[in-house]
Amino acid sequence: MPGGLLLSGAVAALLTTVLPVRHASSPVFDDPPPDKIVINVATVNGSGCPQGTTAVAVSEDNTAFTVTYSAYLAQVGGNSDPTAFRKNCQLNLVVHVPQGFTYAIASADYRGFASLQRGASGAQKASYYFQGSSNTSSKNHPFNGPYDDNWQANDSTDVAQLVWAPCGVQRNFNINTELRVNAGTSAPGAVSFMTMDSTDGDISTVYHMAWEHCPGS
């Protein structure tokens, strides 16, 4: 994907003073900013997202953005490449939000298809962090064979644990996802795989955004 790809729809200043964390007893966020948000894809790297196979779009109501993968497949067995058991993709996003706002990723929905033989296993993992920040949120979702169906996973973050973009300084947002398949005790040569693709080769991963006003705005 070209590094300068411009997406518009929902997130002007990415924002470094971290907002005070809200307590879990008051999970109330500000309304999304009324102005449109712009997301630039700075880089897309990884074996699960070859150039030209990933796209990002933002919802009209500024509450979510969508990443679409069309070649995200991890596989073992048969004539699979020895390195195909693990695929990953790191998105480095430049998110421009209206002045005076900051955001956090409140939850993320993943889905795809998995065909895991008896004795085989698979996993979907994701981590999220802002450039220069030591705060990283990571989630792992395991799947066990036999399994031959669509799969779904949700990463939800407790309100008190949300990592907010810093105010006043632009910091790129990184999303690192991974699919992994293990043959385990499945029959020799049996093929197992996981994909973040639908049957039409196009699947959406939706990231839901929470909003806050920056202090003093």
Q: What pLDDT, in 10s, does the model give residues 52-80?
A: 887 777 677 656 677 788 899 999 999 99
What is the phi/psi pair of residue 138, to 5°? -135, 140
| CB-CB contact of 114 with 151 (8 Å) | yes
Residue 115 predicted with pLDDT over 90: yes
Both tokens of 71, joined, read 């070649």
pTM of the model: 0.72
Distance CA 39, CA 8 (A): 6
Environment class of residue 132 by beta-carbon count within 10 Å: exposed (0-12), middle (13-18) or buried (19+)?
Answer: exposed
Q: What is the pLDDT of residues 156-172, one digit of tens each?
A: 766 556 677 888 777 88
